Structure 1
Amino acid sequence: MSEKPMRVTMLGHACLLCETEDARILMDPWLVGPANFRSWWHLPETPFDPSKLPPLDYLYLSHLHEDHFHVQTLKRLDRRPTVLVPRLYHNRLVSRLNQLGFTRIKELPHAKECWLSRSTRVCCLQMGNDSLLTVADSSGAMLNANDCLQGNPLAQTLPTLQNLAARYRFQIAFLAFGTAGAYPKCYRFEDPAEYLDPWVKEQAMLRNFVQGAMAIRAGTTVPFAGGFALLGRNQMWMNEVKTTPTDALAALQAKAPHLNGIDMNPGDIWDSKGGLIRMSPPPDWDKRLDMIRRMHEAHADELKRIEDGERNGPLNLYKLFQSSLIQNLRTIPLLRRRLNCSVLFQVEGHPGGSWEIDLRRPSRWFREGDSGDWLIRVAIPSALLAEVLVNQDGWETLGISYKLDLYMRKGARAKEGSLIRLINTPSPWWILRTLMTPRFAEFLVRRRKEFVNLVRWKFLETTS
């Protein structure tokens, strides 16, 4: 047994610094500025400067969402550490890292243990486009499950977590407890029966957190990856409908009082021998709305610059809008028949206006102005629309940012999966190149059930 304990420092939101006997791993670093289309801000605010972190041996990036793969933070980090990423069916993580100047990259195979050094071993499991990481040495083992409890079926996730728990006997586990997604906060419906109370989704995620904790049975469970506030003036009300670490720990105590849960905040350290070391008093989460109002006031000038910038799109935006949607319709020929409705884009700022695409017509789908005869209305600032159109993850990021504004008339809910494909569809060449790679063959072999779900989500929804 080593004399040196494992230590894990909470840096903020989903960012951890894990120090084993002989390795230092920085995980999912978002440490400066806002994330997700400039919408998420650290709560509580984090004091850490990326350039002043201790020397690192490894970075771990779980997935491409900006609160985990934060470009402005990554630009300020040393390029010498080896970057650990899941080996997915595509190479977009690797390509993005190469663009940022990271060349030492190690792709971790699904569910296979890898030794990083004499004492430190890791195991990465992939779920969808997300991943979790276990880290172990002779003094202990930790689990960073980040967002894997969000958006993945518990019937798949819980047995995986139970198997990991039996293998590693975790001293500490970090599990997401809150929601992150546009529905239902960013949706408005003509038919009130289609509306979902946001608290229903929040409570469902708390149940996922508790069930995950019960499956893992770690010595300590930490509510994790929910430390953000929405400071935009149109999103401020959404902070009122959001669970806190206190809520997560209360739910855990009510359902599994034998499990130990703790709240960790920026600067706090967990030690495999000494337990929790608090570096400052924890926030009073009952007063979080007051905290957020003060943050909103403190960042008022920057928030104004962000809002103004998002309303100032490129001059060729309408041409980009038309060409992008036409390309997506050509990539999935049956998409037009599946939608078979008119979608109105209310583009705010410059250039802007009401832009409608009517897919009931055999040709000449586009027109400027509001006919009133649409099924779905999307309100979006012009520069944000440009970002969504050119970014393969743009629509998903827009939803996570809570800057999506959708109005759906009766019957529109069934069209939503096809709307995503209308806005963002990978090019045929990207799809072909991906299908021809060895990594895709590995995905088919190791993750067959997920492959079936992936095909159903990406393609069958648009053709049924």
Structure 2
Amino acid sequence: MELFNFGGATAILEHRGVRLLMDPWLDDGIFHGSWVHFPPLGAHVEDVGRLDYIYISHIHEDHCSLGTLEKLDRNATVLVMGRKPNFVVDFLVRNKLGFKDIRIIPPRSPVLLRPGLVADMVEPDPSDAMASAIDSALVLRWDGHVIFNANDCQPHPAMIEYVRSTYGRPDLAMLPYSGGSGYPSCYINLTDEEKCAERDRIREMRSGAFIDTVKALDPKRVIPFADQYAIAGSRAALNEYVAHPATPAAMRAPMARAGLADRLLLVNSGQRFDLETGRHSPEAPYRDYSDEERQAWLDGINANHRYDHEKFEFASGVPLERLVRQARGRLWGYQEANHVHPEWMLVLDSPEMAQVFLLPLGSAEVAAMPRENAVEGPFLRIRAPRTLMIMMLLGHVSWNIADAALFLDYERVPNRYDPVVYFLLNLLRV
């Protein structure tokens, strides 16, 4: 069995002529022009070739890119976890991609795809509202090999227990070691020194979670997987503060300290690894990059790189305040139906506007005030260009993706993360 690595969460597992591609993203400029591959790709969509199966874990573009899917083998069967609503299935149907079949696999319901190949899906941590709504993990039992791909799902005790009790010790675990978030890069209430301190704290926390999962899951080999990207364009300077390292090689030192260095697997983009012989092809050491090398590489591509919302402007007659009020009414309906009323204020701020909009999450009120006026906490102030703000309120750009793209500036008082507030923010659209 061979693993052919492209980068990020995209790789091919091939065994006895059967080929399964995971989470296709091979085109740059996703998330409305923000994300590009880093480390740079050493293999491209033209190198994919014939496919039997395509696993799509969830709807985010770095796992399900339309620009990549349009160029893939239509004879492949797409594997998706069963859930309602099913955003991946809706996406595939809406875009009329015409794959041979879409195989929906309910969680914890192993399916025999062909002799010797069993596929199973595992649901994310139910305490993570966003992940629970969209994400999935994959388990394969393939002629005696057990492969576990958690992609963006942070493995939780119930997931680990299910995999171990049902399938035993994985031969290969593909685990998250990082993540994509606007914190601390985009938080203007933090100094540069505080951003660096928070960046380092989060990296340490995530590497610790990676080590804890390796110890609990006990795979023979583990590859730090997914979330390999950089922010290009006018916001590229914020890469200095992002909490994900420049490359998966950042896990070398933590794995060594934990006495697990012999299990760490690093595979260059465009390189194969044979699980049975333990050999790379072509034989070459892993190409590591520093944060400084990442920035230097980005400087070479940023000159003509623009985001979608930088390519045009909405006319002044587009009624931003009306959109805010309509979106607030829709969100309030959800809050009332689900009895969710956190004691936070959302402050919507576009620098081109003379006023900001105040949306207390404890009431249906919408107020406007001069943007220079002080706001009493607790509040989350979100600053975005007017065109982008309109695109988010219309639902053309999700707040979650704008956050991952580092498009938004935040001020958070107090500086305390409340996942409910961010979940509700993603429902703020007309």
1:278-427 to 2 correspondence within 5 Å? 278-279=281-282, 281-282=284-285, 284-303=287-306, 306=308, 308-309=310-311, 312-313=313-314, 316=318, 318=320, 319-333=322-336, 338=341, 343-348=346-351, 352=353, 354-357=355-358, 359=360, 365-367=366-368, 369-370=370-371, 372-374=373-375, 375-391=379-395, 394-410=398-414, 413=416, 417-418=420-421, 420-424=423-427
Higher-helix-fraction structure? 1
Task: Give the counterpart letter for 2:182 in structure 1.
Answer: A
TM-score by length of 1: 0.77
**CA contact 1:335–1:418 (8 Å) conserved in 2:** no
Partner of 2:164: 162
Residue in 2 that maps onto 1:37: 32
1:219 maps to 220
**Higher deviation after alignment, 233-242 or 376-385:** 233-242
Matched residue SS, 1:285:
coil
State yes or no: 1:13 paired with 2:15.
no
In structure 2, relative to structure 1, the CA distance for the partners of 1:353 and 1:157 (3 Å cut) is farther
Unaligned stretches of 5+ in structure 1?
Answer: 1-5, 428-464
Superposed CA RMSD in Å reads 3.4
1:380–1:175 distance in 2 versus 1, CA, 3 Å:
same
1:107 is paired with a residue whose SS is strand
Q: What is the 5 A alignment of 1:139-288?
A: 140-149=145-154, 154-163=156-165, 167-189=167-189, 197-239=198-240, 241=242, 242-243=244-245, 244-257=247-260, 259-279=262-282, 281-282=284-285, 284-288=287-291
Kindly provide the amino acid, as one letter, of the partner of residue 41 in structure 2: T
Q: 1:377 to 1:254 in 2, by over 3 A?
A: same
C-alpha separation between the residues in 2 aligned to 1:320 and 1:30? Answer: 33
Q: For the structure 1 residues 317 and 206, does the alpha-carbon distance in structure 2 shift closer, same or farther, using more than 3 Å as the test?
A: farther
Mapped partners of 1:377, 1:119: distance in 2: 53
Read off the aligned partner of 1:133 and give its amino acid letter.
L
Check conservation: 2:138, 2:148, Cα contact below 8 A. yes
Specify which of 115, 119, 123 is matched with residue 118 of structure 1.
Answer: 115
Question: Retained in 2: the 8 A contact 1:324–1:423?
Answer: no
How far off is 1:59 after superposition? 0.9
Structure 2, unaligned runs of 5 or more:
125-131
Aligned equivalent of 1:61, options 49, 56, 79: 56
**TM-score of the pair, normalised by structure 2:** 0.83
The whole-number CA distance in structure 1 between the counterparts of 2:422 and 2:137 is 30
Match of 2:129 in 1: none
Work out the percentage of aligned pairs sharing the same amino acid.
20
The letter of the residue matching 1:268 is Q
CA apart distance, 1:168: 4.5
How far apart are 1:89 and its partner, in Å?
3.2
Of residues 38-47 and 326-335 in structure 1, the stretch that sits farther from structure 2 once superposed is 326-335
Stretches (4+) displaced over 6 A: 334-337, 360-364
The answer to whether the 8 Å contact 2:34/2:233 transfers is yes
CA contact (8 A) 2:330 2:429 kept: no
- SS of the aligned residue for 1:330 comes to helix
* Aligned counterpart for 1:132 among listed residues 129, 134, 137: 137
**Cα gap change, 1:155 to 1:426, in 2 (>3 Å):** farther
Q: Which residue among 23, 26, 38 is the counterpart of 2:21? A: 26
The residue type paired with residue 322 of structure 1 is R
Q: Distance in 1 between matches of 2:363 and 2:403?
A: 30
Alignment of 1:72 onto 2:73: no
CA distance in structure 2 between the partners assigned to 1:371 and 1:41 by the alignment: 36
Report how many residues are paired: 411
Distance in 2 between residues matched to 1:406 and 1:181, nearest whole Å: 12
Q: Which residue of 2 aligns with 1:106?
A: 103
Q: Which moved more, 1:56-65 or 1:227-236?
A: 227-236
